[in-house]
Amino acid sequence: MDAGLAKRMRVACAVAVAAIGAATVALAPGAVAGPATLMPDLIALSNEQDQMIVTKEGGKTLLRLTTEIANVGNGPLEVFPSATGSDCDANGSATDDRDAYQRFFADTNGSGGYEPDADGVASERQFGCLHYHAAHGHWHLLDFAHYELRRDPGGRLVSRSTKIGFCLVDDRNVFPGPFAPEHPHYPFGSASSQVGCDEHATQGISVGWADAYAFSVPGQSLDVTGLKRGHYCLISTTDPLDVLEESNESNNTRRVRLALRPKRFSVRKLIGGCRE
Ligand SMILES: [Ca+2]
Ligand SMILES: [Ca+2]
Ligand SMILES: [Ca+2]
Ligand SMILES: [Ca+2]
Ligand SMILES: [Zn+2]
């Protein structure tokens, strides 16, 4: 479905956020411990050979890539909109955006993972912006992913994407387990009969599931026009501005080593990691 095509994201580094996360769970002296908070943990999955293609578009040579962002935490990533807009995307209109909130769940039954029937809401936190994307016809969480291409070795930056927005959905159950739902759960609450990402929808990625953005989706590309043939490092980052709280903020970047021949429209995934 269209929402399935509408994912993307990007990331960044997050040592500072890890410190904040740790502070929220620290107990004051004498406080009574309640149920643990179940946190999401986003990672970018490795780009596979069949998820990359080099194309010619409007005089440019593009490396197109499919990105999958998975939740390997013990709680869902859940994001919901405020009731009214506040121009959080700063484009002068309050009709095309909503402040975004992240919802956290408590491990009420102490099982170590999230079960919708047993675990209650722990807290909600305003953090970012949901924005209407006219070309896709639905609402995105802004700044969810980011891509870079660097020379390998050396690490010189040769191409980068914008910060990419996503409509967060459960596309694929990549890590089945006791807390991964059998069927897709996100998005829900859309006003239309067709479940999708509108201004009312709660978006997210369930435990064990991944949100996929196919290489055919606008934005899923890096400009490689004029680059020399050689080895490069493709770097995909989810939550690049670290606006979402996760249990692990230091695993959001995935590096994949490539042999690239732009003039021949050839890309090959190499064994082994980048040598930056
Ligand atoms: Ca993470
Ligand atoms: Ca706006
Ligand atoms: Ca539980
Ligand atoms: Ca984060
Ligand atoms: Zn979209």
DSSP string, the chain: -HHHH---------HHHHHHHHHHHPPPTTPPP-PPEE---EEEPPPPGGGEEEEEETTEEEEEE-EEEEE-SSS-EEEEE-SS---TT-SS-SSSEEEEEEEEEE-TT-SSS--TTT--EEEEEEEEEEEEETTTTEEEEEEEEEEEEEETTT--EEEE--PEEE-----EE-S--TTS-SS---SB--SSSS----TT-BEEE-TTEEEEE-TTSTT-EEE-TTPPSEEEEEEEEESTT--S--S-SS--EEEEEEEEEGGGTEEEEPSS----
Q: Residue 14's pLDDT band (boundaries 50, 70, 90)?
A: very low
Q: In whole angstroms, how large is the CA radius of gyration of the chain?
A: 19
Q: Residue 135's pLDDT band (boundaries 50, 70, 90)?
A: confident
Q: What is the pLDDT of residue 13?
A: 28
Rounded (to 5) percent helix, strand, coil in the chain: 10, 40, 55
Mean pLDDT within 140-160? 96
CA of 119 to the centre of ligand 3 (A): 5
CA of 233 to the centre of ligand 1 (A): 20
Mean pLDDT within 196-221? 94
Is pLDDT at 21 greater than 70 in this prediction?
no
CA of 98 to the centre of ligand 2 (A): 8
- The answer to whether 133 and 141 are in contact (CB under 8 A) is no
Nearest to 139 by CA among 165, 116, 159: 165
Amino acid, res. 53: I
Q: What is the pLDDT of residue 30?
A: 60
DSSP 120-153: -EEEEEEEEEEEEETTTTEEEEEEEEEEEEEETT
How confident is the model over 155-199, as pLDDT tens digits?
999 999 988 888 999 999 999 999 999 999 999 999 876 678 999
CA of 130 to the centre of ligand 2 (A): 9
Mean pLDDT within 199-219? 95
How confident is the model over 23-51, as pLDDT tens digits?
445 555 666 678 999 999 999 999 999 99
Instruction: Compute the distance between CA of residue 236 and CA of residue 3 in angstroms, rounded to an integer.
Output: 21
- The answer to whether 124 and 104 are in contact (CB under 8 A) is yes
pTM: 0.87
Instruction: Compute the distance between CA of residue 215 and CA of residue 218 in angstroms, rounded to an integer.
Output: 8
Mean pLDDT within 96-112? 98
Is pLDDT at 19 greater than 90 in this prediction?
no
Instruction: Compute the distance between CA of residue 263 and CA of residue 225 in angstroms, rounded to an integer.
Output: 8
CA of 91 to the centre of ligand 2 (A): 5
Tokens representing 112?
């170590």
Instruction: Compute the distance between CA of residue 52 and CA of residue 220 in angstroms, rounded to an integer.
Output: 10
CA of 260 to the centre of ligand 5 (A): 28
Q: How much is the mean pLDDT over the chain?
A: 89
Nearest to 7 by CA among 275, 238, 273, 181: 238
Measured in whole angstroms, how far is the alpha carbon of residue 263 from the centre of its chain? 31
CA of 95 to the centre of ligand 2 (A): 6
CA of 102 to the centre of ligand 1 (A): 15
How confident is the model over 54-63, as pLDDT tens digits?
999 999 999 9
Is pLDDT at 134 greater than 90 in this prediction?
no
**85 alpha carbon, closest ligand:** 2
CA of 186 to the centre of ligand 5 (A): 15
Q: What is the pLDDT of residue 192?
A: 78
Determine what percent of the chain is predicted with pLDDT higher than 90. 79
CA of 276 to the centre of ligand 5 (A): 32
Amino acid, res. 240: P
- The answer to whether 69 and 211 are in contact (CB under 8 A) is yes
Q: What is the pLDDT of residue 33?
A: 78
Q: What is the pLDDT of residue 185?
A: 96
Q: What is the pLDDT of residue 1?
A: 33
- The answer to whether 81 and 190 are in contact (CB under 8 A) is no
